[in-house]
A and B are shown apart, each in its own frame.
Chain A
């Protein structure tokens, strides 16, 4: 393994499930703990997500230099860009690793996609798949590569579950049946509820409880 290799978390999920907002909640918590993070945002059709995170996390909050939020165009192939042919993403990762040796973590957001999204193990060490309750409580039960294979399943927008008739207990039960002992976390990315649990799992399972590089 490359000695400069920075741990990488891939975050995938359907359009509108809350990938960008989850990152916007995760990064401030990691930053407060001293971890230096970079974000690669894969765009399907626009630069809006990358521009929003750059503005919010870098420009407004000053949590990272603006150049550490990078947008990647995927030619309308969000699957391909993170799985079959992750060349462009890998190239960006390698550039980050060579230029910024202080980085503790790289977050890679896939373009919005369907339930068969997975990340190439060459690209991401840890895979978070995020869905939301608006698809109904049948979502985990219906399976799909993303739900089955991810290291961490995040179920978002729990605050509106009662309004869309989604029973969180059913989702939790079915996720356990489909995923066995792998983690599932319920969050509200708008308020940040549940996000600390996601960050704790990243620190434990991806960073192996290592202290931030800047503290050493």
Chain B
């Protein structure tokens, strides 16, 4: 029914909106650290996001989200917790790990105020409260998009689009970009986001990976800075 499709689309818009409260605006995923080491230009921001989509967010977060989504559809809490644990320990930067779990937990709580009858959403939160899961953001995102019956690939697009927009927001606030440049980059990132989703959203959790060592080291240094705007 058209009405049913429209309702799902509203959920897609709602969760993709930067107004949706998840706290992602407080992270720059290493951009602030990078901006302190060299002068960045618009093309660098595109590269920064594109490389992270390919090397980090796609193979780790998008994979974990897709696996969590499938686990929810199968009502398999054991596999869901495996996705949670795998992604949590794959995040090497302590502040990133903590920020991701905080955002994920708030996402679950927010959605639970209007989705009150979903078994996996409830079970995941119970596991978190018992200390058996962390609520890391991408896994929580898989749980809530499953509970809202948003198609999995679309959920992957939403996850990576939302992350990319948060980095553009950080670049604007750091004074690296002006607003039109930011929108141009978001538009140009479309193929990169799509490719990252298609390559990773069906990947098994055992095949999850990430590799961006220089960025990891930069972010570890960033953690120790006393003057900074962003969590990482």
CB within 8 Å of B: which residues of A? 44-48, 51, 72-77, 80-81, 84-88, 90-92, 94
The reply to whether A46 and B226 form a contact with Cβ atoms under 8 Å apart is yes
User: Which residues of the other chain, B, contact A75 by a CB distance below 8 angstroms?
Assistant: 25-28, 169-170, 173, 229-231
B-chain residues with CB within 8 Å of residue A76 when the two chains form the complex: 173-174, 229-230
Interface residues on B, range: 20 to 34
> In the complex, what residues of B have CB within 8 A of residue A88's CB?
23, 26, 99, 102-103, 106, 231
The residues of A that contact B117 with a CB separation of less than 8 Å are none
B174-232 contacts to A (CB < 8 Å): 174, 226-231
Q: Which residue of A lies closest to B228 (CB)?
A: A73
Main SS of the interface on chain A? Answer: mixed
Q: How far is the CA of A94 from the CA of B108 in the complex (A)?
A: 14
Residues of A within 8 A of B229 (CB): 44-45, 73-76
In the complex the two chains form, what is the Cα distance from A208 to B228 in whole Å?
38
Q: Is the CB of A73 within 8 A of B26?
A: yes
Interface residues of B (CB under 8 A from A): 19, 21-23, 25-28, 99, 102-103, 105-106, 169-170, 173-174, 226-231
CB distance from A76 to the nearest CB of B (A): 4
Report Cα–Cα, A73/B231, bound state, in Å.
Answer: 5
Give A74 to B173 CA distance when docked, in angstroms: 11
- Chain A residues near B230: list those with CB within 8 A: 73, 75-76
- Within 8 Å by CB of A48, from B105, B173, B226, lies B226
Alpha-carbon gap, A197 to B146, bound state (A): 52
- List residues of chain A with CB within 8 A of the CB of B99: 88
Question: When chains A and B are docked, how far (Å) is the Cα of A196 from the Cα of B169?
Answer: 42
Some 22 contacts from A to B, beta carbons below 8 A apart, are A44-B229, A46-B226, A47-B226, A47-B228, A48-B226, A73-B228, A73-B231, A74-B26, A75-B170, A75-B231, A76-B229, A76-B230, A77-B26, A80-B25, A85-B23, A87-B102, A88-B23, A88-B103, A88-B106, A90-B106, A91-B23, A91-B106
Across-interface contacts of A86 in B (CB, < 8 A): 21
Which residues in A have their C-beta under 8 angstroms from that of B106?
Answer: 87-88, 90-91
- Extra A-B contacts (7), CB below 8 Å, given A47-B226, A81-B23, A87-B103: A45-B227, A47-B228, A75-B26, A76-B230, A87-B23, A88-B231, A91-B106
Could you tell me the distance in whole angstroms from the C-beta of B210 to the nearest C-beta in chain A?
23
- Which residues of B sit under 8 angstroms from A47, Cβ to Cβ? 226-228
Min CB distance B16 to A, Å, is 15
B185 to chain A, nearest CB (A): 18
Kindly state the separation between the CA atoms of A90 and B22 in the bound complex, as whole angstroms.
11
Residues of A within 8 A of B25 (CB): 75, 77, 80, 85
Q: A94 to chain B: which residues have CB within 8 Å? A: 105
Q: Would A91 and B102 count as touching, CB distance under 8 A? A: yes
Per the bound structure, the CA–CA distance linking A136 and B16 in Å amounts to 44
> Which B residue's beta carbon lies closest to that of A74?
B26
Identity of the chain B residue whose Cβ is nearest the Cβ of A94 in the assembled complex: B105
Q: Indicate if the CB atoms of B228 and A45 lie closer than 8 Å.
A: yes
